[in-house]
């Protein structure tokens, strides 16, 4: 009886000191969750009759460091074109970049995976696989032909210089309409939520 009380006391003491310690560390504020709206990255325009490309569109590149769209020559992290995402590494770029899709909510994913767990783009497959339900989206096919970002798929990202970030795609249509219409809303227009850890650690919270 006496013993257990002592343990309780010790426990409380430890909890108290632990709290103290955390407070002193969180002088650096928690990382900011940012939302980037309407990144326009249309896919190639194709003649539906012949399958020939009428107009090839470029990848549109995004950098977490600048928090915006950058040139292909800059230190980009993610490239967008149509429903395809590329990361600055492997066959897609000269950086250390890669990605890994994880199941969960954005807030739950508070730590990036080990560096070695990331996948890079290769000739056979992208780090974030393309195709309906394989990667970040579902394609409904007829009659609505909608691209819907799958809920609960978080893209963990390794940036071009080996830092970490997490991304959740929210919409593929301009202004993220609550009920998108594939025929009238502008597609290939990304809205996504992200968090970037600039200090090189894997902490994402």
Partner 1 sequence: MRTITIALIISALNIYNAFSQTVRKDSIAAIELSEVVVTATRTEKQLGSLTTPLTLIKKSQIQALGALRLTEVLQEQTGLAIINDHGQGIQMQGFDPDYTLILIDGEPLVGRTAGTLELSRIAVNNIKQIEVVKGPSSSLYGSEALAGVINIITDTPQRTQGGINLQYGANQTMNVNGQVSFRHKKLGVYLFADRYSSQGYDFNPDVYGATVEPYANYTFQSKIKYDFSPNLKLTLSGRYFQETQEQRSEVGGNTPLIVSGEGIQTDGNFLMTLDHRLNKNLKLQYRLYHTLYDTESSLRYETDQQMFAESFFKQRFTRPEIVANYYFNTQHFLTLGVGGTLESVRATRYDGEKTFNTQYVFGQYEWTPAKNLTVIGGARLDMHSVYGQQLSPKFSTRYQLAPWLALRGSVGVGFKAPDFRQLYLNFTNTTVGYSVFGTEEVVAGVDRFTQAGEILNVFTDPSTFTTLNPERSIAYNFGLDMKWKNGLKAEVNLFRNDIENLIETQIVARKTNNQSIFSYTNLREVFTQGAEVNVSYNLLKNLQIKGGYQYLIAKDKAVVDQLDRGEVFKRDPVTLVTTRVKPSEYGGLFNRSRHMANIRLFYTHKAINASLRAVYRGRYGLGDLNGNQILDADNEYVAGYWLWNASVAREFGRLVRLQVGVDNLLDFRNETMIPGIAGRLWYIRASLNLGKQ
Closest to 97 (Cα-Cα) out of 105, 107, 87, 112 = 87
When the beta carbons of 130 and 203 are compared against partner 1, the nearer one is 130
User: At its nearest, how many Å lie between partner 1 and the CB of residue 38?
Assistant: 13
Shortest spacing between CB 93 and partner 1, in angstroms:
19
Q: Does 51 bind partner 1 (CB under 8 A)?
A: yes
Within residues 87-106, the interface with partner 1 by CB under 8 A covers: 103-106
Using alpha carbons, list the distances in angstroms from residue 73 to 63, 69, 102, 161, 202: 12, 12, 29, 14, 26
The HSE-up count of residue 59 (CA atoms within 13 Å, CB side) is 18
CA 90/CA 47 separation, integer angstroms:
31
Under the criterion CB under 8 A, does residue 44 sit at the interface with partner 1? Answer: yes
Phi–psi pair at 204, nearest 5 degrees: -130, 70
Q: CA 85 to CA 128: how far, in whole Å?
A: 7
Out of 99, 176, 195, 204, name the contact with partner 1 by CB under 8 A.
176
Q: Which of 202, 205, 189 has the alpha carbon at shortest distance from 157?
A: 202
Looking at 18-26, 137-145, 155-163, 197-205, which segment touches partner 1 (CB under 8 A)?
Answer: 137-145
* 33 is an interface residue for partner 1 by CB under 8 A: no
Task: Measure the CA dihedral 38/100/82/132, to 10°.
Answer: -120
Q: Token pair of 177, please?
A: 């309409």
Per rule CB under 8 A, is residue 29 in the interface with partner 1? no
**Stretch touching partner 1 by CB under 8 A, among 7-15, 45-53, 69-77, 113-121:** 45-53
Identify which of residues 129 and 200 has a Cβ nearer to partner 1 in the complex: 129
Sign of CA dihedral 77, 126, 120, 170: positive
Task: Tell whether residue 83 is a contact of partner 1 (CB under 8 A).
Answer: yes
Q: How far is the CB of 85 from partner 1 (least distance, A)?
A: 14
10-18, 24-32, 58-66, 132-140 -> range binding partner 1 (CB under 8 A): 132-140
Q: Which stretch binds partner 1 (CB under 8 A): 14-22, 68-76, 110-118, 124-132?
A: 124-132
| The pair of three-digit structure tokens given for residue 131, joined into one six-digit string | 């195709």
Catalog residues that contact partner 1 under the rule CB under 8 A: 43-44, 46-49, 51, 53, 82-83, 103-106, 129-134, 138-139, 141-142, 144-145, 148-152, 168, 170-171, 176, 178-179, 191, 193
């Amino acid at each position: 009886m006496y013993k257990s009380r002592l343990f309780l006391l010790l426990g409380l003491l430890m909890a108290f000191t632990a709290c103290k310690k955390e407070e002193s560390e969180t002088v650096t504020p928690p990382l900011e969750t940012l939302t980037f709206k309407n990144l326009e990255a249309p896919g190639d325009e194709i003649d539906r009759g012949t399958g020939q490309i009428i107009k090839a569109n470029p990848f549109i590149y995004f950098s977490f460091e600048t928090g915006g769209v950058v040139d292909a020559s800059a230190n980009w992290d993610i490239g967008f074109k149509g429903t395809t995402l590329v990361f600055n590494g492997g066959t897609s770029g000269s950086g250390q970049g890669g990605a890994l899709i994880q199941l969960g909510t954005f807030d739950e994913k508070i730590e990036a995976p080990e560096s070695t767990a990331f996948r890079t783009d290769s000739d056979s497959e992208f780090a974030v696989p393309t195709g309906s339900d394989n990667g970040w989206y579902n394609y409904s096919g007829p009659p609505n032909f909608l691209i819907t970002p799958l809920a609960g798929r978080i893209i963990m990202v390794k940036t071009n210089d080996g830092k970490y970030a997490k991304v959740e795609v929210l919409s593929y249509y301009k202004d993220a309409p609550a009920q998108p219409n594939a025929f009238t809303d502008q597609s290939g227009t990304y809205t996504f939520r992200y968090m970037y850890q600039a200090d090189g650690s894997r902490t994402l919270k």
